[in-house]
Structure 1
Amino acid sequence: MSVYMTCLLRNDRASDYTHAFFVIRPLSGHTTKGAYEPFIWRWWRLFRRIHIWQVVIFLALLFSYLTLEVAYRLDPSILNRLPHPKFYSDLAGSLRPDVRAVARWHPDLPFLYTTDKQGLRNSVPPVAQANRRILCIGDSYTFGFGVPDAQTFPSQLQMLLNSWPGPNRFQVVNAGVMGIGIIENLHYFQTKANRMPADLMVLQFNIYDIELLRSDVEVQNYRKGKPFAPLEDRLLAEDVNVALVQALHANPVFIFLTSQPPLQPKPTTSATSTPEQDRLRLAKRVAGNKDKLLDERYLAFTAPLWQRYLDEANRLREEAAAAGMDFLLVIVPDPDQLHDYKNGPSAAILEHCRNRGIKTLDMTETFRRLYLDQGINPFLEPLDTHCSAAGNAAIARAIADRIAQGEAEPPVFLPANEAVRYRDPVTISLSFDDDGRFVLPENWLVAASEQDQRNMVLEYAADRTVKYLTTSKEGGEGHARLHLRLRQPVEAAALVFFPHASPGEPAGFCDVTLRHPMQSARFSTAKAPVPAGWNSFEQEAFLRVSSARTSIDELDIEVTTRGDGGLGLQDIHIGQPRRRLDLILYPAILP
């Protein structure tokens, strides 16, 4: 039955006041029981069905949320507010603007970060009247995840450049965003950064860029970003939801209830696939193992992924040049490269960029020397894999050393002096006989060798799980030297070894030197900042020599030991690490 509502005014003589209420009246002439029942009474009966505890819960949740909002404004550390990207279309940055928050990926590693009005992380201290600008783009390594504002490499670069004498005042813009790769960086420049005038651009690379390409994650967030809404985007509702979801995913019961059986693998080939598709499919499968992705020996398999990254980086370089910016690609190594001598990223990037005229800065060897020679870990290990304050400082110093600036001309990046390609390595596994003499396996690269040794012997460690080279029972110091003449010149050589130092009086040590006529590199457990770190046979060390002007055709390897110090060479058991003494040679390009 169709009804309509009317509002009636009726005077109640008994109470002498007028009140209004809604009634429901039938359109037809038929009468219905309750047809003239006040409409507001029906709503009252519906409200009475709601239990009082439901109202209490709603009010309690609302009060808790408002309390959290107020408490967070007073103390940002009470909420883990990770800097997730927002990709606002009307801001220069990709983060929430005017944020002062504490984030922690690991419970023991909180850090405070702030953003400016444009959604960019602040580089401190601010520069009032800057006449030069450097734009830094990249992922969470550029953002500076795990360190406060003043310890990111853009902030340290800004402080370092402005401490130099001269007329230039630099502003370094930190446009780093966690969780993005080269595709998003290119989109960022095309949609936002190309409207931001700058003299120099720094693009930061780490292995995560290739892992993103492998997973086919190409979410074009910059092309579908929404404008910034002050009221909605400043509230904590989304952060609270994220915190609740993270807590659920860390709950074992929730993990068990939501677990699914593993998916069946898809066929790797099809009748209609092209050779290019097959190579890309193989590259993605090999790149699923990060150890192989970091190893230059697997470049032939992972080449399609590297080529795709380099093509996008070259497009970014060309667009930066069209906007008047000089371009520098900075390679930040993976923490695993501190503990294992692998140079896949350098091998894939350096030669390609050199051929295309792209300026590069490889931080791999700098980080290794910082870790091995000074005992300073450039990463936040073991809690996190991002750069520490020391690692960011090393990046800032290296970038600053590459900037040439004049009084009138805009600053530019100097070309790199690095000549090593890390391509086609030849590994020679050295060993020793029981008398402590070098054993050189047959290989095509070594033409002749000479050696001498004194007071050296090959013995078992105390637990008889490792055989190692050490000083003989006669005491004093042991010494072994190997001189190599090469058939083909090499542009670089590296030595991988497992040194051992022993405590006690006198303390045992191991000293290893790799040299050619123009350069030498040395490692000694006696001069290590943390000598106790080498008391076991578990840590790998490496030396590298190269020549930017001439090729290398002669090499010397020297080992000096005292006491119980020495080199771990053979594992009696099967397991990791595989202790060895490897000489890695990188042949030069013949004309």
Structure 2
Amino acid sequence: MIKNFFINVILLVVSVLFCLLLFEVYLRWQNIGWINVPSVHFDAKSEYFNRPNFQSIFLYQGRKTHQTINQFGFRNPPIEMKKKEEVSRIAFVGDSFTFGFNVNDGDEYPALVINNVAPDGSIDYLNAGVENIGLSHELAIYRNYVKSFQPDVVILTFCTNNDFEDIYLGPYKRKGNQLVYESPKKWPIYYVQDWLYSNPVTLNVVRHSYAVSYFRDILGRRINAKRKQFLSERMPSDDREVVDDTMFFIDQLAREAASSQAAFLIVIAPGKLFYHDTFLRGRLKLLTDQLKQRGYAFFDLRPYFQAELQKGLKNYETLWGQPDQHWSEKGNRLAAENVSQFLRKVFA
């Protein structure tokens, strides 16, 4: 009886593996999908953060990119917590646009900015960008992981794609005029990810399997559907309320930077469809008006991306990666060139 049970289990496992192998062959034959091995993992303090000492990959239509995470969970070369006396430090805080999704190491805009403004090594940096996060997460990441590195400058990259919505997600919540912390809950998918990443054999399978990424993408879509439902229930319908909540979190992050004598700057990063989204433009107008009224130093990248659009849609499309809506290498360079000029003026 027991022998038959184990035989049936083995047959079941072999059958499942064989079906997965056939599915993998089909995906590769039809050139469907991509391989995405993200560095983001569940973090008990900030909900999401990068897995230290890890290299994420993204493969699509033969183009493969690598994103290397250092010992502290930042996407930049290894760094000492205590900076050298003669060196200044900039901390870049933001989501996947700051992180540099789908571009190789050194092509993400924070790295390019540092290369532009301090090729002599007089400035080091932290790229604290993390995929799929918002201002609530960024505040937690700054408090728990960035602040102890004592940056001289903090640059918040505000992404027009989703940062208005994502303030209603994350461990910090606004209750009236109070900031309330709620311990994050770990999604089941992250238990599975931890198991897959903890074993060299399974991690190697993940790094080379279209099928694993395909099923992960299905789960991701379901999570996003629940996320949208959650946002529709929690997010105010009035743009002024949304912007007021956004400014609340920006103020919180600015205070954190000021408490350690760090300058605080904001970069407004356009998403791919910003130019025809009138609904979004209304919110951004309210936001930039508030930033001006409160005396924030900010730099809006939208006009520079708009100028590329005016050269033609085909030219504009080259600013964005495939198959998603993040900046390509060209888009990162465009952002870095203009942010670098802004920084030179601010600190001249």
Same fold (TM > 0.5): yes
- Secondary structure (helix, strand or coil) at the match of 2:36 reads coil
1:313-328 equivalences in 2 (<5 Å): 313-328=250-265
CA distance in 1, matches of 2:183, 2:88: 29
Q: Is 1:355 equivalent to 2:311 in the alignment? A: no
Number of residue equivalences? 299
- Distance in 1 of aligned mates of 2:232 and 2:9: 55
CA RMSD of aligned residues (A): 4.4
Cα deviation code 1:330-373 (max 9, x no counterpart): 10112223456773354122221111111111000011113324
Point out which structure has higher relative CO (alpha carbons under 8 A, 6+ apart): 2
What does residue 272 of structure 2 align with?
335
Task: Say which structure is richer in helix.
Answer: 2
For structure 1, which segment, 342-351 or 189-198, has the greater mean C-alpha deviation from structure 2 after superposition?
Answer: 342-351
Change (3 A) 1:119 1:196: same
1:212 aligns with 2:176: no
Deviation at 1:143, TM superposition (A): 0.5
Shift of 1:187: 1.4
Residue 103 of structure 1 pairs with residue 40 of structure 2: no
Q: Counterpart of 1:247?
A: 214
Q: TM-score with structure 2 length normalisation?
A: 0.70
Deviations 1:497-530 (A, max 9, x none): xxxxxxxxxxxxxxxxxxxxxxxxxxxxxxxxxx
1:169 is aligned to 122
Cα separation, 1, equivalents of 2:73 and 2:44: 8
Q: Is the 8 A contact 1:125 1:159 kept in 2?
A: no
Q: 1:353 to 1:61 in 2, by over 3 A?
A: same
Amino acid at match of 2:304: T
Match among 69, 75, 97 for residue 141 of structure 1: 97
Aligned to 2:40: 84
The whole-number CA distance in structure 1 between the counterparts of 2:347 and 2:199 is: 42
Please give the alpha-carbon distance, in whole angstroms, between the structure 2 residues aligned to 1:51 and 1:235.
24
Corresponding position: 1:122 with 2:76: yes
What does the per-residue CA deviation read over 1:395-449, in whole Å, with 9 as the maximum and x for residues that have no partner? 22222223359xxxxxx657xxxxxxxxxxxxxxxxxxxxxxxxxxxxxxxxxxx
Verify the 8 A CA contact 1:89 1:225 in the aligned structure 2.
Answer: no
| SS of 1:204 mapped into structure 2 | strand
Q: Say whether residues 1:395 and 2:327 are aligned partners.
A: no
Structure-2 change in CA distance of 1:376 and 1:50 (3 Å): closer
Is the 8 Å Cα contact of residues 370 and 377 (structure 1) preserved in structure 2? Answer: no
CA contact (8 A) 2:35 2:213 kept: no
- Shift, 1:60, TM fit: 10
1:186 aligns with 2:139: yes
Q: Which one-letter code corresponds to 1:185 in the other structure?
A: E
Q: Following the alignment from structure 2 to structure 1, what is the Cα–Cα distance between the partners of residues 212 and 250?
A: 35
Secondary structure, aligned partner of 2:271? coil
For the 8 Å contact 2:67–2:75, the answer to whether it is kept is yes
Percent identity among equivalent residues? Answer: 21
Tell me the residue number matched to 1:131.
Answer: 87
Instruction: State the alpha-carbon separation in 2 of the partners of residues 85 and 142 from structure 1.
Output: 17
| Other structure's SS at 1:328 match | strand
Q: Given residue 169 of structure 2, which amino acid in structure 1 is its aligned partner?
A: V
- Aligned-residue offset at 1:174: 0.7
3-state SS of paired residue (1:344): helix
Q: Scaled by the length of structure 1, what TM-score is found?
A: 0.43
2-structure distance, mates of 1:49, 1:348:
69
- CA 1:58–1:231 in 2, change beyond 3 Å: closer, same or farther? closer
Q: Distance in 2 between matches of 1:211 and 1:182?
A: 10
8 Å CA contact retained: 1:123, 1:174 = no
Contact 2:92 2:126 in 1 (8 A): yes
Amino acid of the structure 2 residue aligned with 1:218: G
